[in-house]
Amino acid sequence: MVKVSDSSCIGCGACQALVGEVFDINDDGYAYVREDANIEKYEEEINDAIENCPTGAISKED
């Protein structure tokens, strides 16, 4: 399971730029995980997004 913390996200869009198939930006300007996201297919890209998130707002649980 991949999550984006609403309280930590600053809406920079780095995650969406890295893997737009998984992350999108909502109307309030914050990232979220798309409902149709294929987490397994984009696992490596998600790990990159986690590492590159400037606020550490993205987390992954097995």
Q: What is the pLDDT of residue 7?
A: 95
Q: What is the pLDDT of residue 62?
A: 75
Whole-model pTM: value is 0.93
Q: What is the pLDDT of residues 7-55, one digit of tens each?
A: 999 999 999 999 999 999 999 999 999 999 999 999 999 999 999 999 9
Q: Are 35 and 26 in contact (CB under 8 A)?
A: no
List all residues 6 or more positions away from 47 whose beta carbon is below 8 Å from its beta carbon: 60
Range of the domain at 37: 2-60
* Kind plus residue range of the DSSP H or E element containing 19: none
Q: What is the pLDDT of residue 57?
A: 98
What CATH number did the domain enclosing 24 receive? 3.30.70.20
DSSP state of 29: S
Give the count of domains, the chain. Answer: 1
